[in-house]
Every structure is written in structure tokens, then in C-alpha cells.
Amino acid sequence: MREAGNPALHRFAVLTACCTFLLIIAGALVTSNQAGLSIPTWPFAYGSVFPPMVGGIRWEWSHRLAAGAVAILTAILAVYIWVRESRQWVRILGVIAFLLVVAQALLGRFTVKTFLDPPVSASHATLAELFFIVTVSLAVFTGKWWTGDVPQLHDEESPRLFTLALATSCVILVQIVLGAAFRHNAFGIIPHLIGAAVVVAMVFWTVLAVATRFRKVRDLRVAARYLEILLGLQILLGGAAYWAVLAARDAVQPTPLYVTITVAHVAVGALTFASSVFLTLRCYRILKPSHEAHTETSTERALS
Amino acid sequence: MNRKFVCWAAAFVLSAAIVGCSKSSNQSSSEGQSAAPAATKTVDMATAGSISGVVKLDGAPPKYKPINMSADPYCVKANPNPVFPDEVVTGDGGTLANVVVYVKSGAEGYSFPTPSTPVTFDQKGCMYTPHVVALMVGQELQVLNSDNTTHNIHPTPADNREWNKSQPPNAPAITDSFARPEVAIPVKCNVHPWMKGYFAVLANPLFSVTAKDGKFEIKGVPPGTYTVEAWQEKYGVLDQTVTVAASQAATSDFTFKAQ
């Protein structure tokens, strides 16, 4: 029998994950508005906590304030988990989340000090997504679904659905790195386009495996549905974002349309990654290799 | 699962750190650029001539939309009339402004003192004035802020040291200089992303920047044959070979093709 979850802790983890998602949007707004270097000093704006909120300073300073708020939330979450959580690996993950947000802040400083050096900026964008995934994972691990009884099902086919979902998550991560590298001028669009094709193939394979092997398992079916919807939206946004980048190439300043589309592409990319990891975690929780699998008490609950 | 997950997280962090640390190998790569041939001769001003001419644009200039300055109320207030980008500025008869015309080669054997007069680059009405400045290697650049709003000045050179400084209203002038020739260094304000200008850093003082009438004049040119280059931010460069006789004025006109 598994221990009952802590609803308050879970809610706080969800809050932290949601705020992290908003922070990713704030960061994307900085990049799309070309405001990353509008405040040459770090962490304060030339010694001030209240700089004039005009032009690019609005985006950059808002991003830093949001980052500070998320760092505080993460620190509280890590302590909260450490105090109230009995699972050692969840406690360690809470500490990792805190270390990641600190590393991300230092990387943010590094982007300012290196004048947005492409590898540094791309790393900052990538680490943001990894941190987001850790906060999403903590929200999942502290939730009632994870800590409660769930069915243990066989997965006798090869490759296992868990392996497939994990591989898809890794491919999406690589695609995020390629997208960040393109966005921060490290290299061209071709690698990102190839990555998109691979992601589509992997997601299609994974979703198909869910549909054919576990059509009646609602927990997996719903997670796979999130993934395919978000991927479809992301592909459309990707095409629109590339068009926006080309259209804005000779523009004297970022246009609202360019900013909206590119920020949406970053945001939905983060959600696509999160949904893939969510499916992976659900697969891990529910599916066991045939030699390990045994059915627990509430198998029927998960079946629609 | 527990150990697996922690391992994955550690691997992710490590990868990000590796990518992050891979920077800056190219940042100092320009430090060891080869020096110009040793300059031994000084210019005899008694025999020096000049090169003058007009720069024109063949074809219609691009049509620009007015700049949207709504991101900063001060900028809107400072510009009651629509403001257009300075990328291509033409005068009557297609004359072209903001073109740097300079002696690219042929003067390497001469030594030129660095001008003691600083070059000023002002931020006025949330635009750069002038849009393009030319200065010699080592010559002092003074950046002013005549606006009642904060700017940041961020040159993005390829062969010189990059810097980024903020300048609030009434702040003292920012002074700096560049160590290597570079035509031209883009400079921008990240607070006001429409603000874009250029610093043309040259190896000698034989240069001129055209005004709206497209005219330029390079004085103090020792007798000899030179490659003269005209640089424009959108249309690139044009080269001409020009011979200057002792105490004579040579003429050289340039015409860029509109794209």
C-alpha cells in the first residue's frame, strides 16, 4: 500500500510549475523583443531595483523579477518537500530543482556578461525547459494519482511503451536545443527542421502504440491525446514562426505579430515537452515488464 | 525509477553545463591580428592633395514605414512627426547620405597621428545623430545622451572589443576607442530596438562621411595611387582606383545600385 499524498504540497508544486511556465514566456518575450541586453548590469538594473519601465527594460526587468519569484518558490518547495516528504528520491529531486534554478540564474547572468553569446543563450533557454520539466515532475510525484493505487499492467511488446515515450521525450529535448540554437543564431534552421520531422515520427509512433496496446487505459490515452494535440499546434506555430522570422528580417524593430507567434512557439514547445514527460511518467507508473507485472487492487478504476 | 530519474536529471545538467562552457573561444580570437606594414613616411601637407566626389543611388530607395516608438512615451513626445529609419537616406537627384568613403589601401607606408579631437555620437529624439560616424583607430569616441530617457549603447564589433553601457538622462558622456580597423561596427540600443547606427573605424584619417547631398571630400592625401572604398550599410561596398597628383584635387564619384 502506498502512502497518501500531501494535497497542500502538491498544490504548491503545481503552483511552482505554473509560475515556471510563465517565466519561460517572460524569457521568450525578452528574446523576441531583442531586449536581452537592455540592462547591461546584473542582477540589478544599474544599481536600482526600480528602473524606468520603458522599452526593452520592461521585458528584461519583468523577466528578472519573475525569475526571482520562481527561485523563491522553488526554494520553499525544496524545503517543504524535505520536511514533509518521506520518499528520499523526491526530496533529492526537490534539491535538484533548487540547484537548477540557481544554475539558471547564474547562466542568465552569463548571457548578459557575454553579450548573448549564442551557445550561452541557447544553454539558458535549454536549462529553462529542463527546470520546467523537473517542476512538472515534482507536481506529478506529489500528486494523488502518483501516490495512490494505480493498475499495474503488462507491456509485452517491443519496444516497451515506456521506452518509446522516454525516447520521444529525449528527441523533443534535442529539438528544443536545436530550436534554441536557431533562435539565438548559433546555426541555421535545417537542423531544427530535421528535428521536427524526427519528433513528429516519434510522437506518431508513441501515440499509435498507446492507441493499439492500451486503448482502454484512460490515464495513458488522455496523456497521449495531450501530446498529439500540442504537437499539432506546435507544428502550425513552427511554420508561422519561421514565416514571421523571414518577414521580420529587414524590419527596423520587432513587430507585435512576430513577437506573438515566436513566443507562442516557445510556450507550446515547453508544453509539448511537458506532455511527453507526463506520458513517460505515467507509462513508468502503470506499465511493468511482464516478469514484474502484477495487478493491484484498483485496476478497474483506470479502465474506462 | 528513483535512481534512474536522478541520473537523468544529473545528465541533463551536465550537458547544459558543457554547452554553456563551450563559449568564448572565439571572443579573443581577434587579439592577434596581423599588424599593418611598418609606416615610416609622414605626409608632407605642402604636396598633399584631396579626393572628392558625390555618392548616388541608382534606382528608387526603399519605402519605410514610420518607426513605432510607443514602447517609450518620451520618444513619442519627442517626435510629434513620423520618424523613418536612417538605413537609406537620399537627397535631390538620388544623392546618398551616411556613406563612408575612405582610402582602403595605398597609404600603408605613411604614419598618421591619431586625431586629438573626439568624435561625438549623440542620442537625440531616440535616434542616433549622426547615424554613421567614422573615426580612426585609437581616436576617442564620445557618446552623449541628449534625451530625457535611458539608453544603452551596445556596439557589436567583429574584430574589436564588444561593450554595452547604459546611459541615463543627464549622465556624463561615455568615452571609448577602438583598437583595430573595422568597417563598420553596428551599434544598437536594446531599450529602443529601432535605434541602429554604425561606427566605421579606419586605419588612417583619410575618410569622409557623406551628408544628404552625397558629397564627400578627403583632405591631406599624399600623392599616389589608392584604392578608395565607399561603404553603405544596405548596399555594401564599391571600390575605385584613384590617383592623386601633388597638391591636386582628384575626383571620384560612386553610384550604388538600388536592390
Look up cell 516528504; give the residue. Answer: A85
Residue A290 pLDDT? 63
Q: Which residue ranges form the domains of chain B, and what is each CATH number? A: 40-257 (2.60.40.420)
Q: Which of residues A91, A124, A148 is at a domain's end?
A: A148
Residue B96 has pLDDT above 80, yes or no: yes
Which residues sit opposite B208 in a β-bridge? B101
Q: Do A123 and B168 touch (CB under 8 A)?
A: no
- Show the low-confidence residues of chain A (pLDDT under 70): 1-4, 290-304
Asked if residues B107 and B226 have their Cβ atoms less than 8 Å apart, the reply is yes
Residue B39 pLDDT? 66
| Closest in A119, A252, A254 to B67, CB measured | A252
Q: Which of residues A96, A120, A148 is at a domain's end?
A: A148
Going by their DSSP bridges, the two strands B127-129 and B119-124 should be labelled as antiparallel
Question: Which residues are CB-neighbours of A245 under 8 A, at least 6 positions away?
Answer: A258, A262
Give the confidence band of B24 by pLDDT, cuts at 50, 70, 90. very low
| Claim to verify: residue A180 and residue A224 sit in the same structural domain | yes
Test the A interface: residue of B151, B163, B166 with most A CBs within 10 Å: B166
| Claim to verify: residue A174 and residue A51 sit in the same structural domain | no
Q: Do A51 and B150 touch (CB under 8 A)?
A: yes
| Closest in B17, B20, B152 to A38, CB measured | B152
| Claim to verify: residue A156 and residue A304 sit in the same structural domain | yes
| Claim to verify: residue A214 and residue A272 sit in the same structural domain | yes
Give the confidence band of B33 by pLDDT, cuts at 50, 70, 90. very low
- A103 neighbourhood in chain B, CB within 8 Å: 13, 16-17
| Claim to verify: residue A195 and residue A281 sit in the same structural domain | yes
Residue B4 pLDDT? 47
| Claim to verify: residue A181 and residue A222 sit in the same structural domain | yes
Residue A151 pLDDT? 85
| Claim to verify: residue A212 and residue A137 sit in the same structural domain | no
Asked if residues B218 and B53 have their Cβ atoms less than 8 Å apart, the reply is no
Give the confidence band of B40 by pLDDT, cuts at 50, 70, 90. confident
Q: What is the mean pLDDT of chain B?
A: 87
Angle at A38 between CA A36 and CA A39, to 5 degrees: 100
State mean pLDDT over B144-161. Answer: 96
Instruction: Note down the domain range covering A269.
Output: 150-304
Q: How far apart are CA B223 and CA B232, in angstroms?
A: 27
| Claim to verify: residue A202 and residue A240 sit in the same structural domain | yes
Scanning A142-160, the segments in alpha helix (DSSP H) are 144-147
Test the A interface: residue of B148, B150, B161 with most A CBs within 10 Å: B150
- B168 neighbourhood in chain A, CB within 8 Å: 46
Q: How far apart are CA A141 and CA B8, in angstroms?
A: 16
Rounded to the nearest 10 degrees, the angle between the axes of helix A218-247 and helix A190-213 is: 160
Residue A100 pLDDT? 98
| Claim to verify: residue A169 and residue A140 sit in the same structural domain | no
Interface pTM, i.e. ipTM:
0.85
Choose between B45 and B122: higher pLDDT.
Answer: B122
| Claim to verify: residue A139 and residue A159 sit in the same structural domain | no
CA distances for B203 relative to A200, B106, B238, B254, angstroms? 54, 12, 18, 21
Asked if residues B149 and B126 have their Cβ atoms less than 8 Å apart, the reply is yes
Domain count, chain A: 2
Residue B20 pLDDT? 40
Q: Where are the beta strands (DSSP E) in chain A?
A: 153-154, 287-288
| Claim to verify: residue A10 and residue A130 sit in the same structural domain | yes
Q: A44: distance to nearest CA of chain B, Å?
A: 13
Q: How far apart are CA A60 and CA A81, in angstroms?
A: 31
Asked if residues A276 and A140 have their Cβ atoms less than 8 Å apart, the reply is no
Question: Which residues are CB-neighbours of B78 under 8 A, at least 6 positions away?
Answer: B125, B126, B147
| CB proximity under 8 Å: B 153-192 to A | 154, 156, 162, 164-166, 168, 190-192
| Claim to verify: residue A144 and residue A235 sit in the same structural domain | no
* 3-state secondary structure (DSSP) of residue A94: helix
Q: Which of residues A133, A148, A163 is at a domain's end?
A: A148
- Taking Cα atoms as reference points, which of B88, B90, B84 lies closest to residue B54? B90
